[in-house]
C-alpha cells in the first residue's frame, strides 16, 4: 500500500478533546483550520494575554495537561455552526453548553472547575500551536500508535490516539515510518499530502501528558521507563538523526510554506516524501 492520509483530528480548544475531520483547510502559519483556535489561560478575562510570553503558571500560562491533570477529566465538543462549546466532567452525565463568542459564563464555569480565575482566549489566525517554530500539524502513523499501544496492557489504539494527540495520521506504512520525515539539525524533509507541501522539522519531545489516563488523569505506572526502553529497542536502523537526541520522542513537528496556506487536504490523500533540503 502507498502511504495515505488515514485520519485528521483538530482540537478546537487547546488541550481538550480532539474531533475528526474528513478534510481540512490549512490556515495561517500552516495550522489546520479550527485547530487550537481557543485556549484556556491561567488569568482572568480582563487581563491581557500574550501567547508569545505565556510561560509562568498562574500568570497567563496555558491551562493544559502539563499544568494540571484536571484537564483530562473534561469532555468537550464544539459545534462550529452554532458557535458553541459543550463540556461535561468525566463520570457526570450533566452537560453544560456555552457560547464561544460571549464567554463570560464559560469563563465562570471553568474558573469554578479549576478553582482559580481562568479564561478562554481566541486566536483565529493560526491558533495556539504547541511548537511556535514548527506550527504545522503533527504527524504520526497508525502503525506507530498500534505498536506503542502494544507496550502497555491498559492501552489500545484509541487510547494511544488520545494520549499522543497527533493532528495527522498516516496509513499504509510500517511502525515509525514518520521518522523518515525529519533530518539532521539544519535540515527539513519536504513531503506532500495530496500535492500540498509540508516540511518535517523535528521529532516531538513528549511531556507528562501521554503518561496519564486520558479520561481520569491518573498516572500510568512505569510509563516513561517502558516507553524509553521500547522506543530504543524498536528504533529503525535508518532513523539516524542528531535531532533524535533522546528516546522520549514520538510524532513529527512540521511547518507549512506560506504558499500552501489556504490549500485543503483530505482523508485518503496520497503521502509522498520529496526529499531533504537545508532549513531556511
pLDDT at 58 over 50: no
Which cell numbers in the block locate residue 17? 478533546
Work out the average pLDDT over 96-114. Answer: 97
How far, CA to CA in Å, does 228 sit from each of 57, 148, 210, 218, 249? 28, 11, 13, 20, 9
Predicted local confidence at residue 49, as pLDDT: 60
Alpha helices in 14-153 (DSSP H): 104-114, 142-149
Whole-prediction pTM value?
0.93
**Topology annotation, domain 4-31+130-278:** M1 Pyruvate Kinase; Domain 3 (2.40.33)
> In this model, does residue 55 exceed pLDDT 60?
no
Residues 232-257, mean pLDDT to the nearest whole number: 94
Residue 48 pLDDT greater than 70, yes or no: no
Residues in the chain: 280
Spatial CA neighbour of 161 closest among 190, 141, 181: 141
What is the band of 218 on the pLDDT scale with cuts at 50, 70, 90? Answer: very high
Element (H, E) at 121: strand 119-122
Q: Which residues of 175-201 are buried (b: 16+ CB within 10 A; e: fewer)?
A: bbbbbbbbbeeebbbbbbbbebebbbb
The burial of 230, by beta-carbon neighbours within 10 Å (0-12 exposed, 13-18 middle, 19 or more buried), is given as middle
Closest CA to 31 of 50, 8, 56: 8
Place of cell 530504543: 232
Q: Does position 52 have pLDDT exceeding 90, yes or no?
A: no
pLDDT in tens, 164-187: 999 999 999 999 999 999 999 999
> Over 60: is that where the pLDDT of 56 sits?
no
Q: Where in the chain is the domain with CATH 2.40.33?
A: 4-31+130-278
Amino acid at each position: 500500500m502507498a502511504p495515505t492520509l488515514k485520519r485528521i483530528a483538530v482540537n478546537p480548544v487547546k488541550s481538550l478533546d480532539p474531533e475528526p475531520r474528513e478534510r481540512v483547510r490549512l490556515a495561517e502559519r500552516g495550522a489546520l483550520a479550527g485547530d487550537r483556535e481557543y485556549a484556556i489561560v491561567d488569568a482572568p478575562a480582563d487581563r491581557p494575554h500574550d501567547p508569545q510570553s505565556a510561560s509562568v503558571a498562574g500568570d497567563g500560562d496555558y491551562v493544559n495537561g502539563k499544568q494540571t491533570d484536571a484537564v483530562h477529566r473534561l469532555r468537550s465538543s464544539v459545534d462550529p455552526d452554532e458557535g458553541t462549546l459543550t463540556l461535561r466532567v468525566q463520570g457526570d452525565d450533566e452537560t453544560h453548553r456555552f457560547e464561544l463568542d460571549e464567554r463570560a459564563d464559560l469563563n465562570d464555569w471553568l474558573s469554578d472547575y479549576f478553582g482559580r480565575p481562568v479564561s478562554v482566549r481566541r486566536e483565529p489566525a493560526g491558533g495556539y500551536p504547541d511548537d511556535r517554530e514548527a506550527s504545522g500539524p503533527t504527524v504520526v502513523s497508525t502503525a506507530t500508535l498500534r505498536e506503542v499501544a502494544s507496550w502497555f496492557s491498559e492501552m489500545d489504539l484509541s487510547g494511544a490516539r488520545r494520549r499522543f494527540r497527533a493532528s495527522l495520521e498516516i496509513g499504509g506504512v510500517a511502525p515509525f515510518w514518520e521518522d523518515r520525515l525529519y533530518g539532521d539539525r539544519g535540515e527539513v524533509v519536504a513531503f506532500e499530502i495530496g500535492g500540498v507541501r509540508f516540511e518535517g522539522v523535528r521529532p516531538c519531545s513528549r511531556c507528562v501528558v501521554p503518561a496519564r489516563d486520558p479520561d481520569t488523569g491518573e498516572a500510568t505506572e512505569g510509563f516513561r521507563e517502558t516507553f524509553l526502553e521500547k522506543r530504543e529497542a524498536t528504533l529503525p536502523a535508518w532513523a539516524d538523526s542528531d535531532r533524535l537526541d533522546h528516546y522520549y520522542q514520538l510524532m513529527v513537528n512540521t511547518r507549512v510554506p506560506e504558499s500552501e496556506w489556504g490549500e485543503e487536504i483530505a482523508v485518503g490523500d496520497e503521502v509522498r516524501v520529496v526529499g531533504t533540503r537545508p532549513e531556511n
